[in-house]
Structure 1
Amino acid sequence: MRRMRYFIWTFSAAVILGGCTKEHEAPTASNPLDTGRVPPTPKIESVIVGNRRVTLTWTVDDTLAISKYNIFRSDSADADYRLVGSSSIRTYTDRGLVNGKRYF
């Protein structure tokens, strides 16, 4: 009887294939919101102070068709401003304020 030897080899191989045959292309659709212009600064028209609230009304050049305004507030002129609300119209009432306290 003949003895046979078996050799078992285990191979692990990872083949990573990649590549792109196309050249870089410019986007096919333009971003209608990217006009390259910074929106104009709103002009405050009125500030109505009430009990624990203030109502702001402003005007702005409407050539950019702005659809939403974000309202930010700070306790100090030098501190970070935080988002307190947003409005789709040119008025906003900030509620929950402390009477007699100055806000920026």
Structure 2
Amino acid sequence: MSFNHAIPYYDLPLLPPEKVIEDIAILKKTILAGRALSELEGAITNVPNPAIFIDTINLQEAQGSSAIENIITTQDELFRASLNEYANTSSATMQIIYYKMHIVWH
């Protein structure tokens, strides 16, 4: 069987959808998400260094992605290493720190 770009792979529908998918339920969820982001933005202004909070999100993503490749470490090790406390840092932790840097820089 050869690939045919005109036929959806695994019967996925073609994009864009033929019908309008904006409905009341989706719009209500969008409004709730917007409110939650506004609350987060307001709360983060009370944090002494908001960059540390944002950095943890990238760190957790890097940890999760690395776990798929069987590179395992603890969040405690990651936070210590991200604060430049590299003494006694495992190679797995350093690999995740390098991966996180790659995510942020690209």
TM range (shorter): under 0.3
Q: TM-score, normalised by structure 2?
A: 0.20
| TM-score of the pair, normalised by structure 1 | 0.21
Which structure carries more helix by proportion? Answer: 2
Which structure dedicates a bigger proportion of its chain to strand?
A: 1
Which of the two has higher C-alpha Rg? 1
